[in-house]
Every structure is written in C-alpha cells, then in structure tokens.
Amino acid sequence: MLGFVARRLLLAVFVLWGAVTVVFVVVRLVPADPALLMAGETATPEQLAALRAEMGLDQPLIAQYLQYVGNTLTGDFGRSYTQFVPAMDLIAQVLPNTALLALLACLLAVGVSFPLGLLAALRVNRFSDRAVTTLSLTTQSLPGFWIGIVLMLVFSRQLGWLPSAGLDSPQSLILPTITLALPFIAILTRMVRSGLIEVMGEGYITTARSKGLSERTVIFPHAIRNALIPVVTLVGLEFGTLLGGAVITETVFSFPGIGRLLVFSIGVRDYATVQACVVVIAVAFVLVNLFVDLLYGFLDPRVRNSR
Amino acid sequence: MTAALPPMITTTPIATPTTATQTMQRARRARRGVKIRITVPIIIIGLYVIGAITVPVIYGFDPLRTELVDRLKPPGTTLSNGSIAFLGTDQIGQDLFAQMMMGARVSLAVGASTLIFAGLAGVTVGLLAGHFGGWMDTVLMRIADVQLAFPAILLAILLASVLGQGLTNIIIVLSIANWVVFARVTRSQVLALKNREFVEAGRALGAGHFHLIVRTLLPGCVAPILVVATVEFGHVILAEAALSFLGVGVPIGVPSLGSTIQAGTAYLTSAWWISTLPGIALAGLVLATGVLGDALRDFYDPTLRGA
C-alpha cells in the first residue's frame, strides 16, 4: 500500500511539473511583449526597460523559467496589471465560489445519476432503460452554455423565479449548479448503467442468486459495490470536464468564480492572472485525481498491487 | 433506502432463460436495430453537410450586410425583400436559418480538419508507443498524462487566447487538445493485438517494424479508432462552439453557431430565437454523431451491445 501511495504521489508531482511548464511555454508564445501591454503604448523606452527588468523579462529564458517555477511553488504569479494586486489575491477571492459550485454540481449529479443508472441497468432494453439512455445521450449532445442560456431564459427572464446573474443569494446558485451538473449527470448515468450491467453478468452474481438470495440482496450489497469502483474513477476524470464547464457556466451566469476571472483576464490580456488561474485549476484537477486514485486503491486491492 | 425500490425489481428475473429460437430472433432484431442506428445518423449528418454547402449560397448570405428594417423579426416574418425568414432574423437583420447553416459550415469544417490532424498524430503516437513499448512508451504516455492534467477545454482556451482568433488556430488548438484520446485508444488496441498469432507470424517471417505497424497492427486498430473518431467529432464541434461563445474562437465576421448564440444573449428577452435555435441545430448534429458512435461500437463489438 505504501509503495502504491508513493508511486501515485510521484506521478502527481511529475504531472504538476509538466502542467506548470506547459503554461510557461504557452504564455511565452505570446507574440506581444507583456511589458508593452502592461505599460501601454505611451510608455517611454526607459519605462519599458525598467518594467522588463522588474518582470525579469531581460533575463535568459532558462533563468525566467526557474524563477517562474520557484514563484509558482510559493504561489506567487506576479501582479495583475489591470487590478494592480497580486494575481493570487484575485483568485483567493473567487475560488471558494467555484469550489462551492463544483461541489454542489457533483452532489446533484451523483444524487440524480445513481438512481437513474440503477433503474436503467435493472430494466435493460425496456422502456425505462430506453428513456434514460436516450435522455442522457441527448443531454450530452447539448452545449453546456446553451443549456445555461435556455434555463436563464425560462426561469429568470420569462417566469422570474430565479436570479439570472451574479451571486447575491443562495438562489443564485440554483441555475448555475443545474447547468454544470446536467452534462455530468448524463455521463455518470451511462457509466453507472454499463458498470452495473457488466457486473450483473459475473459468476458471483449467479452464485448469489443460486444461493436463493432475494434479488434485492443480490443487487444491493453484491452488485453495487463492484459496479461503483470504476464509477469512482470516472468521477475523478470527469472532474476536469466539470472544471472546464465551470469556465463556461460562470461566464453565462456572470458568476464570480475562477472561470469567469480567467475569461475576463484573457479578454484584457492580463497574462499573470491567466497563468495563475490555469495553474490553480490544473492543481485542483491533479489533486482530485490523486485522491480518487488513492481511494480506488483502497477500495480495490487488485489496483494497488498491479504494476 | 431499500423501501424506495420499485417493486418490479424483486419480481422480474434479470436473465430470463430463453430458447435458442428466441435468442436467434433477438440477435437478428439487434442487428437490424444497429443498421438503422447507423443509417439514420449518417443521413442526418449528410443533410447538415448539404445544407451547410448550399443554403448560404441560395440565400446569397453575406455576413457583413445589415438590414436595419428587418432586425429582430420573429420566425415566419415576411421581410422587406419579400422573402420569408422562417426562423426569424438576428440583431442586424440577417436571416437566422442562412446564418445557422453558415455556422454549420464552420462546425463541420473545424470538426473534420481537427479529426484528421488529431487522428493522424494520436494514431501515430499510439502505434509507436504500443509497438515499441519501453522508454518510448513511457515518454509518450507521460506526455499524454500531463496533457490530461488539463481539462481539454481549458488547454484550448489558454492556447486560443495566446494564438489569437482564426479558423486555423482553432483547428490547431483543438487538435492539440484531442490527440491524446486517439493515442490512448490506439495504444491499448496495439497492446491487445501484439501478442496474437498473426503478429507473431509476421515477425517470424521477418517483417520489419514498418511492415508490422502499418500492415499488421494498424488494420486491427481501425474499428476502435473509427468509433472514437465519430464520438470525438461531436466533442470537437461542441468545443469549437464553446470557444467561439467565449470569444476566443472564430474571428469577428465569421458566423459560427457558438458566436451566434453568444450574440443572441443580449436579446434574450426581445428575440429568444437568436440564442435558442442555433443551439438546437448544434445539438442535433452532435446527437447524430453520438448515436452513430454508439451504433458503430455495437456493430464492431457485439459483446458490448446494450452495455
């Protein structure tokens, strides 16, 4: 078990280093000069040179990279040139909102997709299964931002039941949560369904049945426990999609979260904040996956002993 | 919790014993079902392609033309030039249907080009990693791990914001974000194939690496790659729409379904059709590819049917 944890931790550290490096490389591809962007067109050459020195842009690329990795480790991404505060402070303000939104969406998705997937798996190829499968495939095909816009149109513009933007009251969370959860529900339902169908064909289920156990006992402790293991991994992997979805959902609903901060910062070419947002999201994703991997190893001994 | 179970679960046995005739009948019906599920989506996608090519020409669509008298007309209005806008007009007086089909052009073109680039890169990497194994496999798959540390849409947003707007850039961005899927599927298929007798036979007869990869392994990977490509086509189209919606996709003046939906959000109360209808058109196309992907998977691997 200890070796398994160590291997996973090492992989997570490696992946994080890679992610941080990718962000550095991508942002360095910017054709524009960050110092010029920060200082504005009217800056004198002396001002520009001073700013370049301050930002470390006059250093060789490798020194810039080491400096950047060091700063990243301490959570220092430089300051936002539009807001004149450290980029990390901007993120700290909005990160709890996004975390809350993602958590609520996860809970809603798990709460809805498990019963639906179970229902479909136990009634394979009958009406309720067809209905659930069709519905989830359709939902998966809808663009997330479009779902948000339609919900907003119906529930806030037409019916006036819920606020359409911002985060002023708990009600403001309802529409973004549903928008974010819907595609996730679709994927999870399909996964729960196929996982359960696969498990129901296993020999030990036949054994349980032939022991004369009631169908309910066969499904609940026996089938469910093993069907859920792959689903746990999926929740982790799809968490990335969820974070990506948060960027779009937050933009649609003007929700004060990290996704909207990212899109806003891209719009004003505030690369310090863009860099910080992307790294923070990647870190969150890697940590969630690390946690899921460890949980997976804990749930299924075969996983931690392989490789 | 157990009390909430529907009563039919305890009374309906999951696997009903069937006679051979019944099994045959069911298999025949399933095969026919799969053929329908393959044909219908292909026809729908074909209609989109035809519509995307011809409709803008028939309507003489010009993205820069502005007809102020025809602004924000609801579906079915007769316009100043005598034609009927059966899906209404947008905020600058353009026929929404023609604009949507112009957007479908962008979606289809971006989807197809991305699949070609991401597919070529991913399949090559997957073949090399799977065939050679060892350090090449480790290096390539660790790169894929790092890539997966980013939610695909986040990487796309970051790259697109740096590269700037433009159709070529979207295709580059989405190819970079999607090659991993192809690489993983190809690699796992190669791993499953490489110890089979026919590959062994090829090696025993003195086939070189190139021959083994291209003539022996690749043909066995075509089916899963085709399935993944179909599903990814839908994902890429959704991703393009999301990028254009966020304003880091198509350049201004090029109508894309995503940017049309975005433009319509300012007129949700007065002209609901601008944002909602393109979303439905988009969902229809993506749904068709999703159904096709599922059906192709069932067609090539009947053991997965129903799962």
**pLDDT tens digits, A175-189:** 888 888 998 888 888
Q: Which residue of B has its CA nearest to A14?
A: B146
User: What is the model's pLDDT at position B115?
Assistant: 92
Q: pLDDT averaged over chain A?
A: 80
Contact A97, A255 (CB under 8 A): yes
Stretch A66-92: mean pLDDT? 80
User: Mutating which of A142, A146, A254 best tests the B interface, going by the most B Cβ atoms within 10 A?
Assistant: A146
Q: Do A247 and B157 touch (CB under 8 A)?
A: yes
Return the number of other C-beta atoms located less than 10 Å from residue A56's C-beta: 13
Q: Does the structure show a pLDDT above 70 at A244? A: yes
- A58 has pLDDT over 80: no
How sure is the predictor about B5, in pLDDT bands with cuts at 50, 70 and 90? very low
Does residue A36 lie in a domain region? yes
Res. B106: pLDDT tops 80? yes
Q: Is the ipTM value over 0.90, yes or no? A: no
Say if residues B100 and B110 touch (Cβ distance below 8 Å): no
Q: Is the pLDDT of residue A57 over 90?
A: no
The band of B123, judged by pLDDT with boundaries at 50, 70 and 90, is: very high
Asked whether residue A17 falls in the same domain as residue A112, the answer is no
- A175, A180, A185, A186 alpha-carbon torsion, rounded to 10°: 110
- At residue A243 the predicted structure's pLDDT band, cuts being 50, 70 and 90, is confident
For the domain that residue A102 is a member of, what is the CATH number? 1.10.3720.10
What chain A residue is nearest to B287 in terms of C-alpha separation?
A: A141
State the Cα–Cα distance between residues B66 and B63, nearest whole angstrom.
8
At residue B124, the pLDDT reads 92
Spatial neighbors of A246 by CB under 8 A, at least 6 apart, are A98, A101, A102, A180, A257, A258, A259
Average pLDDT over residues B264-286: 81
Which of A123, A216, A267 has its CB closest to that of B5? Answer: A216
Q: Report residue B113's pLDDT band, with 50, 70 and 90 as the boundaries.
A: very high
pLDDT-derived band at B121, boundaries 50, 70, 90: very high
B296 neighbourhood in chain A, CB within 8 Å:
none
The answer as to whether A78 is a domain residue is no
Cβ-defined contact of B290 to A141 (cutoff 8 Å): yes
Record: contact A143-B261, CB cut-off 8 A? yes
Query: Of the segments A298-307, B63-72, B104-113, which one has the largest average pLDDT value?
Result: B104-113
Q: Is the pLDDT of residue B6 over 50?
A: no
DSSP secondary structure letter of residue A33:
-
| pLDDT confidence of residue B80 | 67
Residue B119 is predicted with a pLDDT of: 92
Q: Which pLDDT does position A303 carry in this prediction?
A: 65
Query: pLDDT over 70 for what percent of chain B?
Result: 83
Residue A124, chain B, CB below 8 Å: the answer is yes
Shortest CA distance to A271 belongs to which of A16, A15, A31? A31
pLDDT digits (tens, 9 = 90+) for A201-242: 777 878 888 888 877 777 777 777 777 777 777 777 777 778
Asked if B132 and B191 count as a contact pair (C-beta separation under 8 A), the reply is no
A112 with A250, same domain? yes
- Looking at the complex, report in whole angstroms how far the Cα of residue A49 sits from the nearest Cα belonging to chain B: 23
B298: pLDDT confidence band, cut at 50, 70 and 90? confident
Same domain, A57 and A190: no
Residues A7 and A108 in one domain: no
Which of these, B113, B110, B104, lies nearest to B44 by C-alpha position? B104
Contact B283 A214 (CB under 8 A): no
Q: Find chain B residues with C-beta within 8 A of A157's C-beta.
A: 268-269
The angle at the Cα of B82, spanning B77 to B85, to the nearest 5 degrees, equals 35
Contacts of B286 in chain A (CB under 8 A): 141-143
SS3 state of residue A86: strand
Last residue of a domain, one of A73, A97, A124: A73
What pTM, to 2 d.p., does this model score?
0.81
Structure-model confidence comparison of residues B89 and A70, the more confident one: A70
pLDDT band at B117 (very low <50, low <70, confident <90, very high): very high
Of A73, A107, A124, the one marking the end of a domain is A73
Around B142, how many Cα atoms within 13 Å sit in the side-chain half-sphere? 16
CA distance B207 to chain A (A): 31
Q: Judge if A203 and A54 occupy the same domain.
A: no
State whether A204 and A110 are in the same domain. yes
Fold adopted by B32-64+78-304: MetI-like fold (1.10.3720)
Determine, for residues A140 and B151 on separate chains, whether the beta-carbon distance falls below 8 Å.
Answer: no
pLDDT tops 60 at residue B9: no
- Tell me the two tokens of residue B141: 């798959």
> For residue A56, how many C-alpha atoms fall within 13 Å in the half-sphere facing its CB?
13
Q: How many domains does chain A have?
A: 2
CA distance A31 to B214: 39
pLDDT at B17: 54
Q: What is the pLDDT of residue A222?
A: 74
Structure-model confidence comparison of residues B14 and A38, the more confident one = A38
Q: What is the DSSP string of chain B?
A: -GGGS-THHHHS-SS----HHHHHHHHHHHHHHHHHHHHHHHHHHHHHHHHHHHHHHHTT--TT---GGGTTPPTTEE-TTS-EETT-B-TTS-BHHHHHHHHHHHHHHHHHHHHHHHHHHHHHHHHHHHHH-HHHHHHHHHHHHHHHTS-HHHHHHHHHHHH-S-HHHHHHHHHHHHHHHHHHHHHHHHHHHTTSHHHHHHHHTT--HHHIIIIIIHHHHHHHHHHHHHHHHHHHHHHHHHHHHHTSSSPTTS--HHHHHHHHGGGTTT-THHHHHHHHHHHHHHHHHHHHHHHHHHHH-GGGTT-
Other Cβ atoms closer than 10 A to B88:
20
The answer as to whether A245 is a domain residue is yes
Surface of A (53-112) touching B: CB under 8 A: none
| pLDDT tens track for A127-139 | 888 888 888 888 8
CB atoms within 10 A of CB B51: 18
Q: Are the Cβ atoms of A263 and B152 closer than 8 angstroms?
A: no
Q: What is the pLDDT of residues B132-163, one digit of tens each?
A: 888 888 888 888 877 776 777 788 888 877 77
In the prediction, which pLDDT does B64 show? Answer: 64
Residues of A within 8 A of B270 (CB-CB) are none
Cα–Cα distance measured from residue B51 to residue B100, given in angstroms and rounded to the nearest whole number? 10
Does the pLDDT of residue B307 top 50, yes or no? no
| A161 lies within 8 A of chain B by CB | no
Same domain, residue pair A58 and A127: no
Q: Determine the residue among A14, A27, A98, A141 to mutate to test chain B binding: the one whose Cβ has the most chain B Cβ atoms within 10 Å.
A: A141
Confidence band, pLDDT 50/70/90 cuts, at residue B3: very low
Q: Is A210 on the interface with B (CB under 8 A)?
A: no
What average pLDDT does the segment B85-100 reach?
74
As given in the structure block, the two tokens for residue B43 are 């026809």
Check residue B18 and give its pLDDT: 58
Domain assignment of residue A48, yes or no: yes
Backbone φ and ψ of B84, nearest 5°: -105, 125
- Measured N-to-C along each axis, helices B96-132 and B20-58 cross at an angle, to the nearest 10 degrees, of 130
**Looking at A73, A95, A122, which one is the last position of a domain?**
A73
Backbone angles phi, psi at B218, to 5 degrees: -55, -45
Contacts of A62 (CB under 8 A, 6+ apart): none
Least Cα separation, residue B85 to chain A (angstroms): 22
Q: Which residues of A touch B241 (CB under 8 A)?
A: 143, 145
Q: Residue A173 above 90 pLDDT?
A: no
CB contact under 8 A, B14 and A216: no
Highest mean pLDDT pick, A75-79, A211-215, B129-133, B273-277? B129-133
Q: 3-state class of A79 per DSSP?
A: strand
Bridging pattern class, strands B84-85 and B77-78: antiparallel
Tokens of A236: 């982790």
**Chain mean pLDDT for chain B:** 79
* Distance from the A72 Cα atom to the nearest Cα atom in chain B, whole angstroms: 17
Looking at the domain assignment, is residue A187 inside a domain? yes
Q: Give pLDDT, residue B219.
A: 86
Encode pLDDT of B191-212 as tens digits: 888 888 888 888 888 888 888 8
Smallest Cβ–Cβ distance between B287 and the set A22, A138, A262 belongs to A138
Beta carbons within 10 angstroms of residue B80's beta carbon: 11
Q: Which domain holds residue A295?
A: 87-304
Is the residue at A81 inside a domain?
no
Q: Tens digits of per-residue pLDDT, A5-45?
A: 888 888 888 888 888 888 888 877 665 666 666 666 677 77
